[in-house]
Amino acid sequence: MEASVASPREMKATPTTTAGSRDLSLAALSGLVTVKAVEYPTGLFPPSYIRFNVWSGTLTILVSSAPSGGQGVNVYYGAMHTLDASSSTLPVYMENLVATGAAAYAALEWASFATNRINVGGEDVWRQYLVWGQDRMAGFMRRLSQLSRKNAVRARSMYVPAQPGPSQTSNWGA
């Protein structure tokens, strides 16, 4: 989960509008982590990115008039990665990192399990697992922090929306 939050899978969905409503349900976006950008109307060049709010599974597009029904809205979002025995959506550069995180969690769990138990390796087996796991976990978290999109420049704050919102209008020329 930490890897998906730090560097989510890049996805795009195109839900359709309901007549007279600015709200779109995000329920169909499985594994949603974050919404990065919203394009409306679609099909323009350059793309028309607009301001939006997300609250409790609903995306509200901040446009001056409510759209008519059946119009597509491109939602660019980050989603959870999947990993199982046969496939993975993790980028290659993250595979070893996720394995390191899994090993760290396993070692910390084993350290907890082995405490106050008889161990073939001696009295300090639990402590050795604990120290090893903590070291790997620190490295895992440090690398995730470096990959995190929270530390990156966000494109959504670097473009001028096609339709300025109320706070972006100016009376300077008046």
| Cβ proximity of 49 and 57 under 8 Å | no
Q: pLDDT by residue (tens digit) across 124-172? A: 888 889 999 999 999 999 998 888 865 555 554 444 555 555 554 444 4
> Which of 117 and 160 is assigned the larger pLDDT?
117
53-82: average pLDDT: 93
79, 91, 97, 96: which is closest to 141 by C-alpha? 97
Cβ contacts of 132 within 8 Å, gap of 6 or more:
107
CATH code that applies to domain 8-80: 2.40.30
State the pLDDT at residue 156: 47
pLDDT of residue 42 exceeding 60, the answer is yes
Q: What ranges in the chain are assigned the alpha helix state H?
A: 2-6, 92-114, 125-147
pTM of the model: 0.71
State the pLDDT at residue 171: 46
Name the burial class of residue 6, with classes exposed (0-12), middle (13-18) and buried (19+) by CB atoms within 10 angstroms of its CB: buried
Q: What residue spans define the domains of the chain?
A: 8-80, 92-150
